[in-house]
């Protein structure tokens, strides 16, 4: 598997699937989640509502992932995952790694070969960039998957630099 980096907007990516840093309600939020729903149109929210009405009545647990249509976005699917909120007193890195493993597992089940990830948990959920980059890069490198390209799409230069440092380590 090839791991690539891009500084840019996740919603513009030509990839089989993009990963949403969602919250457990699946009903939208700010940050990258807001951008995905804004640009992808109402079909994504509609699909999320159906998940809430069915299998995910209690919401999507932290560290898990589930796919929907990508609506109007260039990707085919959005894989929603819920990152852990950063805690200085508790080690939640397994949950952050799990977001990456579970997203790739869902990608495999869809037959997706190219998957674009944002820097999960590094926005509102407060995870320090360097640490999140370390965990994300290690998690995708360790994954057993048929995905051929994992692309990290970093919104700003600081996030890009953090991932670049980890990738070249
Ligand atoms: P979380 O709640 O998991 O922290 P956020 O959406 O608040 O999720 O932030 C996750 C990361 O996504 C942050 O680094 C933020 O800068 C970045 N981000 C926000 N919008 C976009 C976008 N359109 N494309 C790529 N990354 C984005």
Answer whether 121 contacts ligand 1 (Cβ < 6 A).
Answer: yes
Which sequence positions are flagged as catalytic?
Answer: 33
**Which residue's CA lies nearest to atom 26 of ligand 1?**
155
Ligand 1 atom closest to the CA of 83, numbered from 1: 3
Owning domain of residue 116: 2-168
* pLDDT score at 46: 98
Region 37-64: mean pLDDT is 98
**With contact defined as beta carbons under 8 Å apart, do 79 and 66 qualify?**
yes
Region 55-83: mean pLDDT is 98
* pLDDT score at 139: 98
Count of domains for the chain: 1
| Position 116 pLDDT exceeds 90 | yes
**Cα torsion 49, 53, 57, 61: sign:** negative
**Which residue's CA lies nearest to atom 6 of ligand 1?**
31
pLDDT tens column, 6-33:
999 999 999 999 999 999 999 989 999 9
Q: Where are the beta strands (DSSP E) in the chain?
A: 2-7, 17-22, 65-69, 77-82, 114-117, 149-154
CATH number at residue 126: 3.40.220.10
Ligand 1 atom closest to the CA of 33, numbered from 1: 6
Region 140-165: mean pLDDT is 98
Answer whether 33 contacts ligand 1 (Cβ < 6 A).
Answer: yes
Could you give the percent of the chain with pLDDT greater than 90?
Answer: 99
Backbone Cα Rg of the chain = 14
pTM for the structure as a whole: 0.98
Answer whether 159 contacts ligand 1 (Cβ < 6 A).
Answer: yes
Residue 113 alpha carbon to ligand 1 centre in Å: 23
| Position 169 pLDDT exceeds 90 | no
| Position 47 pLDDT exceeds 90 | yes
Answer whether 125 contacts ligand 1 (Cβ < 6 A).
Answer: yes
Query: Quick one: how many helices (H) and strands (E) in the chain?
Result: 5, 6
* pLDDT score at 106: 98
Q: Which of 15-19, 27-31, 71-75, 90-94 has the lowest mean pLDDT?
A: 27-31
The chain-wide mean pLDDT, for the chain, equals 98
98 vs 28, residue with greater confidence: 98
């Amino acid at each position: 598997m090839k791991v690539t980096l891009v500084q840019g907007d996740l919603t513009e990516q030509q990839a089989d699937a993009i990963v949403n840093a969602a919250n457990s309600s699946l009903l939208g939020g700010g940050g990258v989640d807001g951008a995905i729903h804004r640009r992808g149109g109402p079909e994504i929210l509609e699909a999320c509502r159906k998940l809430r009405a069915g299998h995910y009545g209690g919401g999507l647990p932290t560290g898990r992932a589930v796919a929907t249509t990508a609506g109007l976005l260039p990707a085919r699917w959005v894989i929603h995952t819920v990152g852990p909120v950063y805690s200085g007193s508790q080690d939640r890195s397994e949950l952050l790694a799990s977001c990456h493993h579970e997203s790739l597992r869902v990608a495999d089940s869809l037959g997706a070969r190219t998957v674009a990830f944002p820097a999960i948990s590094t926005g509102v959920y407060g995870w320090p960039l360097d640490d999140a980059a370390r965990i994300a890069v290690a998690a995708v490198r360790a994954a057993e998957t048929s995905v051929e390209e994992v692309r990290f799409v970093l919104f700003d230069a600081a996030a890009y630099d953090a991932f670049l440092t980890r990738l070249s380590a």
